[in-house]
Amino acid sequence: MPRTRTVERSRLVPHTIDGTTHLVLDRYKEELPLPPRDWDRIVLTGVTAAAAVIGVASILWSTASIGSLLDLVVPLTAAAYAAAVVFDLAWLTCMALEWLARYDQDRAALPRVGYVALGIAMGAVGTHGWISGQFAIGCVAAAVSGLAKALWTVVLRHHAKPLDARTQQWVDAERAKAGGRLAMVSVRRELTRAEQAVTAEQAAISGTSGTPSGEIPEPPEDNEESPEATPEPALTGPMTMADAVRMALSCGISDPEKVLSYVRQVANANAKEESVLRILRMERKTA
């Protein structure tokens, strides 16, 4: 007899009282057959769990062995065992990266250098047994890490789903496009910081004086005969109204309307005419 599961469903049905009909909610139960057990998935889950338990046991064993070896020369025991953890965490980290790249064989190739870290860890465990006078036991202990790594390699290969060449190229193109957008976020943030730094620097310099310290602007040539040829002062960035008036005068601009236009252009777009004229009169008196 096939296994079933009970599912509660609902539907709208007409219900009439005194000649008036309304749709009301009717709840009912339905027996649905259960799909057969996916024994392949169950077995794979069990194997993965077993590999995880073996990996944890391998870490504990090799950490205790290598920590005891390093403790012979390191004054601080905690430091010796902390360093011992690195040996196994190195190849475990490489396996985790290989798992993340299980759909891309090219990217999964580099994390397989974890075998080097595994070999170093096994050598350290064997050395501890040899120093302790139990070389055979040290070899058996070193095999624990080797078996754990070998089992995880088999599990990872079983989980890996390599893509065909065309699909892999499509994935690489999409990954590159997304990576480019992500990189531009950082680049735009960097450019914004640089532009803000330049603006702040210019404001700090122009806020103290209209001209660089120690420099006197050269007086312009006499252009009274041709007012249209009067050169416009250079835009030096944000400055005070007084600095703008002095800059205009130093460039030979004495017409109040032109001075006011220049002040509004480089200092304050809302500068009042009477304020500019007052500063202009003060500058002419002190000249």
Domain ranges of the chain: 4-33, 39-159, 195-287
Placement of tokens 């989980």 in the chain: 159
Read off the pTM.
Answer: 0.48
Q: Where are the alpha helices (DSSP H) in the chain?
A: 39-70, 77-100, 105-109, 114-131, 135-159, 165-208, 241-250, 256-266, 273-286
What is the SS3 assignment for 222?
A: coil
Q: How far apart are CA 11 and CA 257, in angstroms?
A: 84
Read off the tokens for 12: 């709208």
Q: How far apart are CA 56 and CA 251, in angstroms?
A: 80
State how beta strands 4-17 and 20-33 pair: antiparallel
Run of H or E residues at 5? strand 4-17
Read off the tokens for 57: 């046991």
In the prediction, which pLDDT does 213 show? 44
Q: Which residues contact 233 (CB under 8 A, 6 or more apart)?
A: 247, 248, 250, 251, 253, 262, 266
In the prediction, which pLDDT does 21 show? 92
What is the SS3 assignment for 282?
A: helix
CA-wise closest residue to 87 among 131, 42, 46, 117: 117
Q: Please give the chain's pLDDT, 287 residues, in tens.
A: 678 888 899 999 999 998 899 999 999 998 888 888 888 888 888 988 988 898 888 888 888 888 888 888 888 888 888 888 888 888 888 888 888 888 887 888 888 888 888 888 888 888 888 888 888 888 888 888 888 888 888 888 888 888 888 888 888 889 888 888 888 888 888 888 888 888 877 777 765 444 444 444 454 454 444 444 445 554 445 578 888 888 887 777 878 888 888 888 877 778 888 888 888 888 887 76
- Find out whether 253 and 230 touch, Cβ atoms under 8 Å: yes
Through-space distance between the first and last CA atoms of the chain, rounded to whole angstroms = 112
Placement of tokens 């006499």 in the chain: 222
